[in-house]
Amino acid sequence: MSAAPSALEAPRGTRTAPFADVVAEHLDAVYRYLVYLTGDRTAAEDLTAETFEKAFRSWRRFDPRRAAARTWLCRIAHSAAVDWFRAEARRQRREQTYALETAEIGESVFAEGLSPTLERALRTLTPAEREVVALRVLLELDGPSAARVLGISSTACSTRLSRALKRLEEAMADVRD
């Protein structure tokens, strides 16, 4: 038997959920998280695929007693996104451009149904702030799980979320004005 099929069929410890089910259940969540984190839909798609590819390769090592599948996937997505940000930073230094400027003002990045005010306000946040908003608001992860994905303490995660929401409100007010 080749390594790939056994990895596919051997969800470590869960003994119930094959990888295909995990994909069906968490694909949207991981994609949302990465859209908010990167602010780039194309990059989020690539990173989502990369995340699940990594997850697929290490599926046998996943231990549900240590973390939920969503938290585990978000942790992988976080690492992939950080690598992407590093690559982007290098590219920007090379090209002396700002990646987010490539997105046209009228184009919706985060979601189709969002108000233009909220869309613009979200763009003013840093990736770290958007990340915590995505984890806590969109994915509805609890504090400890979100903190585990971010690699910070629960208190720091709570503080970051409060600041992010406050900044988002302020940014929306500024946009309205």
Applying CB under 8 A, the residues found at the interface with other proteins are 5-6, 8-13, 15-16, 18-20, 23-24, 27-28, 31-32, 35-37, 41, 44-45, 48-49, 52-53, 56, 60, 63, 65, 82, 85-86, 88-89, 110-115, 118, 126-128, 131, 133, 136-138, 142-143, 151, 158, 161-162, 165, 168-169, 172
Residue 106 structure tokens: 């009228």
Q: For residue 17, what is the DSSP state?
A: -
68 Cβ contact list (under 8 Å, min separation 6): 145
Given the complex with other proteins, which of 5 and 104 has the nearer CB atom?
A: 5
Given the complex with other proteins, which of 5 and 105 has the nearer CB atom?
A: 5
Q: For residue 136, what is the DSSP state?
A: I
In whole angstroms, the minimum distance from the beta carbon of 105 to other proteins comes to 18
Residue written as token pair 């940014």 = 171
Nearest to 130 by CA among 29, 31, 34: 34
In whole angstroms, the minimum distance from the beta carbon of 143 to other proteins comes to 5
Please tell me the distance from the alpha carbon of residue 150 to that of residue 58, in angstroms, as a whole number: 20
> Radius of gyration of the chain from Cα atoms?
17
Given the complex with other proteins, which of 104 and 134 has the nearer CB atom?
A: 134
In whole angstroms, the minimum distance from the beta carbon of 169 to other proteins comes to 6
